[in-house]
Amino acid sequence: MKALVFSGARIAGIKDLVVPRPGRGEVLIRSRRVGICHSDFELLADRYIIPFSYPVVPGHEWAGEVAEVGEGVTDFEPGDRVVGECVVGPGGKDHFGFSISGAAAEYFVARAEWLHKVPETMSYTTAALVEPFSVAYNATRAATVDPSDRVAVLGGGPIGLLTAMASLGRGARVVMVEPREDRRAKALEIGVHAAVDPAEVEKSPEVLAMTGDGTFDVVLETAGHPAAMANALRLARVGGRVVYVGIDVARSAEVPLGLIQAKALKIEGIIGSVGIWPETIRFLASGVIDPTVLVTGVYPLERAEEALAAASGSSGNIKIHFEVGE
């Protein structure tokens, strides 16, 4: 079979590998759609938030079809359409597609307990967005977003746009705070009520008309940029809720920590989306939002290097998918 393999730092290519066989409690999956994430580039650059080693097959945003089940597997059978969680193993110590080889291959193996069936009515494109959307949905869930809320989403990358969608799906009024004009335009396209540059947010007429004073009931930080992470505390209203989604593993920023007490803020950081995948799948299956509009390019696995270039931050694309075996 063909697989995308990261053999070392900044060394990626398609290799011929032996099709794996499922062991006890495992499932062999025929890959169909695989998304490329910013975290894949972190992996390729030899840095990630947990230990890993090369060579490794990336791919943690995926949808596929069960090809074979191992001994003891009773909840799945060949032909089932499935997606799988990323943060796995005892205590979440492993991440699928990072410390464990992932789905960017024609076939791969996963443990049955990581998997979830998706409805026949859900396309593989939507299903491959369950993983990143589950993170966005988890952020809105942590912040208990509802129709009364005025929400600021900081960062207009894929997770930020999905977080805005999840907030809209929960009925909130949403402002996207993003420096790039093209990402602000995409945010308006998906239905946010305003999209503003970070330097303008507190004096934006649209924001002031919505909030009265430029602060928000909920601030969802998705950029993982120190300046945005600091700004989240300033943009939250008194009694507001702040959820940190974006990841930065090394940098720092100065911020007046007194704002936490002065505003009586409720602050939470989330990593992944363990425990809410069935709920996430039901939310997407309802059709209240359509995340597939964020997929701006689809490539066969054989064109992996071209796909990785298209998914780089400077390309202007939002979400790139591999189409495998179709």
pLDDT band, residue 326 (cuts 50/70/90): low
- Can you tell me the mean pLDDT for 46-68? 96
pLDDT score recorded for residue 139 = 97
pLDDT band, residue 263 (cuts 50/70/90): very high
Pick the residue with more confidence: 92 or 299?
A: 299
pLDDT in tens, 85-122: 998 988 889 999 999 999 999 999 999 999 999 999 99
pLDDT score recorded for residue 251 = 87
pTM of the predicted structure, to 2 decimals: 0.93
Pick the residue with more confidence: 60 or 275?
A: 60
pLDDT band, residue 272 (cuts 50/70/90): confident
pLDDT score recorded for residue 177 = 98
Q: Which residues contact 303 (CB under 8 A, 6 or more apart)?
A: none
The four Cα atoms 177, 183, 184, 188 give a dihedral, to 10 degrees, of -120
pLDDT score recorded for residue 135 = 95
Which residue is associated with the tokens 């930080």? 221
Whether the ω angle into residue 55 lies within 30 degrees of 0, i.e. cis, is yes
pLDDT band, residue 271 (cuts 50/70/90): confident
Write the DSSP string, 224-260. Answer: --HHHHHHHHHHEEEEEEEEE----SS------THHH
pLDDT in tens, 121-174: 999 999 999 999 999 999 999 999 999 999 999 999 999 999 999 999 999 999
What domains can be seen in the chain, in order of their start residue?
2-128+290-323 (3.90.180.10), 133-269 (3.40.50.720)
Helix/strand/coil (H/E/C) assignment for every residue in 11-69: EEEEEECCCCCCCCCEEEEEEEEEECCHHHHHHHCCCCCCCCCCCECCCCEEEEEEEEE
- Can you tell me the mean pLDDT for 283-295? 96
pLDDT in tens, 183-199: 999 999 999 999 999 99
pLDDT for residue 313 is more than 80? no
pLDDT for residue 325 is more than 80? no
pLDDT score recorded for residue 92 = 85
pLDDT score recorded for residue 304 = 94
pLDDT in tens, 208-228: 999 999 999 999 999 999 999
- Rounded to whole angstroms, what are the CA distances from 309 to 13, 59, 117, 158, 305? 13, 16, 31, 16, 6
Would you say the C-alpha torsion 145, 236, 139, 284 has a positive or negative sign? positive
Averaged confidence pLDDT in the chain: 95
- Can you tell me the mean pLDDT for 267-287? 93
pLDDT score recorded for residue 243 = 98
